[in-house]
Amino acid sequence: MLSRTIIRSPGRTFSTSTAMLNRCIIYTQNGDPAQVIRAITYPKLPSPPPNTVNLKFLLSPINPADVNTIEGVYPSKPSPTSNIAASGLGSQDKPVFVGGNEGLAQVVEVGEGVKGLKKDDWVVMDRPQLGTWSTSRNVPFHGVIKLPATGLTEAHGATMTVNPTTAYNMLDGFVKLQEGDWVIQNGANSAVGQLVIQIAKNRGLSTINFVRSRDDMGPLVDHLKSLGATKILTYDDLNDKSLRGKIKEWTGGKDIRLALNCVGGEPTTAISKLLGQDAHLVSYGAMSKKPLSLPTSLHIFKNLTSHGFWQTNWSKTHSRTQKEELIAKLADMMKENKIRAPEHTIVNISAQESDEEATAKIRDVFAKLAEGKFGKKVLLKLEDTAT
Ligand SMILES: NC(=O)c1ccc[n+]([C@@H]2O[C@H](COP(=O)([O-])OP(=O)(O)OC[C@H]3O[C@@H](n4cnc5c(N)ncnc54)[C@H](OP(=O)(O)O)[C@@H]3O)[C@@H](O)[C@H]2O)c1
């Protein structure tokens, strides 16, 4: 491990030379993240036991599902027991949960019996809710997947396992799409939506992309176009009676057979009506918090099928080899610049900040996220070295 002489003071751990601080973002009860999470410093982890690797986290995103997990309304929950075991925190009576589901980490040390991983390898998580908002963790080696040694940025790696996999699998798993086919989606400027645009473009598919209108649409339209979006419209355009005719012209009369739903509510009902015969509507998000309502006639006369997609479930039902193959494919696309890292803001929590300062900073991030003030993916960097 990296640590040398460590001097501890309440909420702060540092040394005179290269010091190492272990810190994570925790919660002990569900609720509004801006109120219930806090940063804590924890003792140096023991060397990794057999079949376990010691990881240093480099960068970990805050995804919408992380907020739902802390609120206690997300189906995939962190296990208090594993977090306790990994970090030496809490007890059965007073469980402590470490936040963060996705993240990029570097292998620091491997335990006996670990296969296929060595010091300095970059890895991503293959198990949900491992507590990635940490400086370091000991994790079973089967719980991580190795990334290629070169060609990826930290932001690519940190955001690899949730959104790119979801976009890829939704384009791949429901309709046999051929080059020249069209896909329609709402929430097109979400991180997932932007990946759908890029992966579709890479496969020779065209996309019709709906977003919420805003005062100045120009920058967003330019950005989505630069990713490869074919058409960009707002939900207001769904009220335009001439839209159906325009779409027919764009597609040359070809039926659209796949719609991807990020937001639910009225924009989803409306895009479903633009689908052709035997189409599939795939819902993966509910950002508007409005229910999904579909005309019965679409099922009877057009044989519409409505599905939900959850990447966590895909992961549970696919083999390790299939998951490694998917990560390798996505990493190749990233290396070839066919998939850009999401636009992001890195929130740095320096090792010099006390736990109180770090808590105030991270709570403020969640308060701003709730108000939609970032407009970019937030990536957390918890520094482990005081300089
Ligand atoms: N099922 C799965 O496996 C899976 C995997 C990954 C993500 N997801 C889900 O997919 C969704 C998007 O995730 P992300 O990481 O891509 O999110 P993101 O980058 O934060 O984007 C959020 C999107 O939601 C839109 N939005 C926010 N509030 C809205 C509202 N009240 N009405 C309509 N649109 C609204 C935003 O539009 P504006 O820019 O106009 O605010 C933006 O397009 C989340 O629900 C997430 O949990 C699901």
The residue whose CA has the least distance to atom 27 of ligand 1 is 287
Q: 38 in helix, strand or coil?
A: strand
Closest C-alpha residue for ligand 1 atom 9? 285
* pLDDT tens profile 82-125: 555 545 667 777 788 999 999 999 999 999 999 999 999 999 99
Domain co-membership, 13 together with 151? yes
Q: Work out how many domains the chain is built from and give that number.
A: 2
Determine contact, residues 344/59, Cβ cutoff 8 Å: no
296, burial (CB in 10 Å: exposed 0-12, middle 13-18, buried 19+): exposed
Pocket of ligand 1 (CB under 6 A): 63-65, 162-163, 166, 187, 189-192, 212, 262-263, 284-285, 287-288, 309-311, 372
Is 127 part of a structural domain of the chain?
A: yes
Find out whether 353 and 40 touch, Cβ atoms under 8 Å. no
Of 282, 381, 374, 330, nearest to 163 (Cα)? 330
Which protein residue has the closest C-alpha to ligand 1 atom 26?
A: 287
Ligand 1 centroid, distance to 65 Cα (angstroms): 9
In a domain, 322, yes or no: no
Write down the pLDDT at residue 34. 97
Which residue has better confidence, 210 or 45? 210
What CATH number corresponds to the domain at position 125?
3.90.180.10
Confidence label for 2 from pLDDT (cuts 50, 70 and 90)? very low
pLDDT-derived band of residue 385, with 50, 70 and 90 as boundaries?
confident
Ligand 1 centre to CA of 293 (Å) is 19
Alpha-carbon distance 161 to 159, whole Å?
6
- Per the residue annotation, which of 27, 42, 74, 235 is the catalytic one? 74
Q: How much is the average pLDDT of 179-190?
A: 97
Best probe residue, ligand 1, of 186, 197, 209, 262 (max atoms within 8 Å of C-beta): 262
Residue 11: its pLDDT value, please? 39
The Cα-based distances of 328 to 66, 105, 149, 160, 277 in angstroms read 25, 17, 11, 10, 34
Atom in ligand 1 nearest the alpha carbon of residue 314: 3
pLDDT > 70 in the chain, percent: 92
The reported pLDDT for the residue numbered 78 is 82
Nearest CA to ligand 1 atom 32: 288
Kindly state whether residues 167 and 139 are assigned to the same domain.
Answer: no
Nearest CA, atom 17, ligand 1: 190
Asked whether the predicted pLDDT for residue 6 surpasses 50, the reply is no
**Is 326 within a domain?**
no
Domain identity same for 175 and 205: yes
Ligand 1 mutation target, pool 71, 165, 192, most atoms within 8 A of CB = 192
User: Ligand 1: which of 74, 170, 190 to mutate, judged by most atoms within 8 Å of the beta carbon?
Assistant: 190
Q: Is residue 48 part of a domain?
A: yes
pLDDT of 351 over the 80 cut: yes
SS3 387: coil
Domain carrying residue 372: 7-159+341-382
Task: With H, G, I as helix, E, B as strand and everything else as coil, classify residue 27.
Answer: strand
**Is residue 265 domain-shared with residue 183, that is, in the same domain?**
yes
Pick the more confident residue, 44 or 118: 118
Which amino acid appears at position 296 of this protein? T
Lowest mean pLDDT among 95-99, 167-171, 182-186, 271-275: 95-99
* Ligand 1 center from residue 261 Cα (angstroms): 10
Q: Are residues 152 and 168 in the same domain?
A: no
- Of 7-16, 56-65, 189-198, 377-386, the range with the lowest mean pLDDT is 7-16
Indicate the pLDDT class of residue 387, thresholds 50, 70 and 90: low
CA distance 98 to 101: 9
Asked if 223 and 308 sit in the same domain, the reply is: yes
Same domain for 266 and 354, yes or no, is no
Q: Is 207 inside a domain boundary?
A: yes
Query: Is 233 in the same domain as 370?
Result: no
What's the pLDDT tens digit per position in 290-347?
999 999 999 999 999 999 999 999 999 999 999 999 999 999 999 999 999 999 999 9
Residue 67: inside a domain, yes or no? yes
Determine which helix (DSSP H) or strand (DSSP E) holds 157, and give its type and residue range: helix 154-158
Let me know if 284 is a catalytic residue.
no
Residue 333 lies in a domain: no
CB 358 within 8 A of CB 349: yes
Q: Regarding predicted confidence, which is higher, 78 or 175?
A: 175
Do 91 and 151 fall into the same domain? yes
Shared domain for 106 and 206, answered yes or no, is no
How far away, in angstroms, is 191 Cα from ligand 1 center? Answer: 7
Say yes or no: 252 and 234 in one domain. yes
Q: What is the percent of the chain where pLDDT is above 90? A: 84
From 81-85, 132-136, 226-230, 277-281, the region with the lowest mean pLDDT: 81-85
Are 175 and 123 in a shared domain?
no
Q: Which ligand 1 atom is at minimum distance from the Cα of 64? A: 47
Domain end: 312, 332, 353, which one? 312
Distance CA 66, CA 135 (A): 18
C-alpha 219/C-alpha 217 separation (Å) is 6
In a domain, 102, yes or no: yes
What per-residue confidence (pLDDT) applies to 83?
Answer: 52
Q: What is the mean pLDDT of the chain?
A: 91
Q: Which domain-ending residue is among 312, 328, 352?
A: 312
**Ligand 1 centroid, distance to 186 Cα (angstroms):** 10
**pLDDT value of residue 4:** 29
- Kindly report the protein residue whose alpha carbon is nearest to atom 2 of ligand 1: 310
How far is ligand 1, taken at its centre, from the CA of residue 222, in Å? 20
Which of 273, 294, 312 is the endpoint of a domain?
Answer: 312
- For the segment 370-382, the average pLDDT, to the nearest whole number, is 92
- pLDDT of 281 strictly over 80: yes
**Residue written as tokens 């798993």?**
173
Residue nearest to atom 21 of ligand 1 (CA): 190
Residue 208: closest CA among 228, 184, 178, 226: 184
Q: What is the CATH number of the domain that holds 275?
A: 3.40.50.720
d(C-alpha 317, C-alpha 315), whole Å? 5
* Ligand 1 mean position, distance from CA 63 (Å): 9
The mean pLDDT value for 39-43 works out to: 91
